[in-house]
Each structure stands twice: as structure tokens, then as C-alpha cells.
Amino acid sequence: MESAPIRAAEFFAGIGLVRTALERVKGAQVQVVWANDIKQAKFDAYAANFPDAEDHFIVRDIQKLKKAELPPEVELATSSFPCIDLSLAGNRRGLVGEQSGMFWEFAKIVKGMSPRPRVILLENVHGFATSHKGEDLRAALACLSKLGYSLDVLAIDARHFVPQSRPRMFIIGIQKDKLPSQARQDVPPITDVRPPWVQAVHEKHRQALDMHYIDLPTLPEGPQDLDGFVETDVSADLWWGEDRVKAFVGSLSDVQKARFDALLAADTISYRTAYRRTRQGVSTWELRKDGIAGCLRTTGGGSSKQALVRLGRGSKAIRWMTPREYANLMGAHDYKLLAGTPNQQLFGFGDAVVVDVIEWIGNNYLRPVLRPDSTASAE
């Protein structure tokens, strides 16, 4: 007998990559019945990929949502609340910041939902764990615990699924009175999804708060290069001219230049990504040592955009990465780029979650908790 769909609400929905991932979960249909974001451009991108967006996506500041607008009988609520005040690259104001402080608005809405979702899934940067010496994370966990949730913390780098270094932490809350039999309430062992610092979070808070963990499979190894993720047939106009390439090379440090020259002289063509940095007041370029991309960011700063460098057989070419490449690196190969400007598209992906990571959590954690009778094997 086919189980009922899992009704989900997506807070801070952005361009819809959480929904993209949840709809791929095997053995249980996840139905996003409500979504919210403040930016019209993100809704436009979402709507271009999900025709039913007009029926359930509310474009509004989360602080102005009304209780009557929330959907009934939601089993899963997801929240990728803003990271700018928590990120090591941000201002570190923490949960008192104007952006990351939206966590409290999410918690307030969950508190008012009747019934409350059985499971909540939050995503943010690792900096959340160290913000204000750990006090921000403690306060957030305490808040969710008071709402009736037992909490688990995970850390997953997207490089296990796509060629992009994108470490993120996840908080999964399950209603205390509905914990599944596989949930354990002691300190978890160290694994790839629970490194020592995550274990320390559990150890620190398990006496005062409701904490649990669920055993999870080992993460896959992940791709080691950008093959299959870069566009090979872009317009020639996108590649930088000779003067710009010369300036790029001229800005490299001795170590960077040696790396560049070795790849240039190689018998095979390879791709590298590069960031622009300011070192001692001077703008320089830095080439990644490995063959994967750095963490994609929202566009708007000098080091926010990544350049793609193609080297080998004595040939060099450089250009900015394209929106399609951003989509591919976020695990959204089939995402339709029909709305917004290229910069808006880059921003949307830089502000999103990696589809494969959420899909993995869905298959190995959310589905077994919410639909334990499903016989589909998790991936």
C-alpha cells in the first residue's frame, strides 16, 4: 500500500533547491505545500521550475507572515535561514544580526503551528557553531528544545557529492514524543557526518537539552575534478582577452605562478577555479590547489565570484563561471535558467543548498523517520 505524501513547508525557500532535492527522495513522496522567501527574483526562478508556485509560494518578509497563511498538517519544515551574520566571511553579529536573527522568526512561527511539524531541518554554515563562542548555537538548540524537539547535529561537505567545497551544518529536530526506535540519546561516535566538533556539541548540551543521534551510512567519496560540470561550448566572447589574462597571471604569487605553469605545461587539459583576493592592499588571484570549485557565494564582492581557468598543452584561457556551471555545482543540472539576470541567477545558487546533500539526508534520515515502513533502499 502506497504511503501518504509527506507534507512539507519550505522557509527561506530561495530558488527551490530544497524542494528539488526532497522530490528526489526514494520511497516516499514529499509534497511541498507551502514556501516563503522575501525576494521576488528568487520566486521568479522558483516559479520557472515549479508551475504550482503561485498556489503556495508567499513572497514576503517572514516577520509579516500571518498565522492564517500557514498550511495545516505539515510533517516537515525546512529552514535555510540567512548565514551572513554567522559566516566567518561575514560580520559575525550572530543571531542578534538582522539577517541570521531570522532564526527567531522561524522558531516563532513553528511555535504557533498547530500541530507543529514532526520534523524540522535547519541548514547553515559551520560558523553557527562558533558564533559568540558557541552561545548562539546553544540558544538556538535551547529554543527548539523548548518547542518540543529532540535535536541532532550533522556536518556535511558537499564535495562528497559534487566538485565544490561547501561545508555546512544541519540541525534535525524530531518531536520528543515521536522519536523513532533507531534514535539514540547518548553521545554519538565520531564519523564523517559527526566530526569531533559535532560530537562535542552533543556532549556539551545533552544533559541540559534533548539531544539524539541516528546512525548514518558513510558519505560517498565525491568527484575529484570539474569534468561534466563545466560548459565546454560557451560563446567565445565569454573568455577574457589577452590583456586581462596577462593581468591575471601577473598578479599570481610565486607559489601560485608555479602551480599555474605546471598545469599549463601538462599534456592534458585541466580546469581550476580561482578567487580574487586582496593581500596587503593589493588585488591578487589565487588558484585552487585541487580540481574542484571553492564554495560558491552570493555575488556582490570582490572575492565572491569564481573564475574558471583552463590550462594544458601550452594553452591558457580564463573566464567567469556561468550560471549553468553554478547550477551544476549545486547538483541542479536540470534546473531551468529562465528567470532573472545572470547575476541574479549566480546569487540564487550561491545562496542555496546543494541538492545532492539534502537528497542524501532525505533518503537516509528524513524518510526512515517519517515513513519507516517504506521498503525503498536509501542512497
pLDDT tens by residue, 297-342? 876 544 578 999 999 999 999 999 999 999 999 999 999 999 999 9
Taking residues 255-271, report their average pLDDT: 97
- Other residues' Cβ atoms within 10 Å of the Cβ of residue 112: 11
Identify whether the C-beta of residue 111 lies closer than 8 Å to the C-beta of residue 126.
no
Identify whether the C-beta of residue 38 lies closer than 8 Å to the C-beta of residue 61.
yes
- Ordered by start, the domain boundaries in the chain are 6-223+352-370, 236-321
Q: Does domain 6-223+352-370 have CATH number 3.40.50.150?
A: yes
C-alpha distances out from residue 178 to 173, 243, 253, 370, Å: 11, 63, 56, 10
C-alpha distances out from residue 303 to 56, 84, 297, Å: 36, 15, 9
| pLDDT tens-place string over residues 346-372 | 999 999 999 999 999 999 999 999 999
d(Cα 111, Cα 197) in Å, to the nearest integer? 29
pTM value surpassing 0.75: yes
Please determine, for residue 141, whether its predicted confidence score (pLDDT) is greater than 50. Answer: yes
Identify whether the C-beta of residue 326 lies closer than 8 Å to the C-beta of residue 305.
no
State the sign of the Cα–Cα–Cα–Cα dihedral 198, 201, 206, 212.
Answer: negative
Identify whether the C-beta of residue 89 lies closer than 8 Å to the C-beta of residue 102.
no
Phi, psi of 270 (to 5 degrees): -135, 160
Identify whether the C-beta of residue 333 lies closer than 8 Å to the C-beta of residue 81.
no
107 compared with 93, residue with greater pLDDT: 107
Give the residues across from 279 on adjacent strands. Answer: 282
d(Cα 232, Cα 30) in Å, to the nearest integer? 35
Mean pLDDT of the chain, nearest integer: 91
Helix residue ranges, H only, 212-322: 242-251, 254-265
Query: Most distant CA pair in the chain: distance in Å?
Result: 65
| pLDDT tens-place string over residues 14-53 | 999 999 999 999 999 999 999 999 999 999 999 999 999 9
- Other residues' Cβ atoms within 10 Å of the Cβ of residue 8: 27
Taking residues 260-282, report their average pLDDT: 91
Taking residues 115-142, report their average pLDDT: 89
Q: Of 308, 302, 304, nearest to 325 (Cα)? A: 308
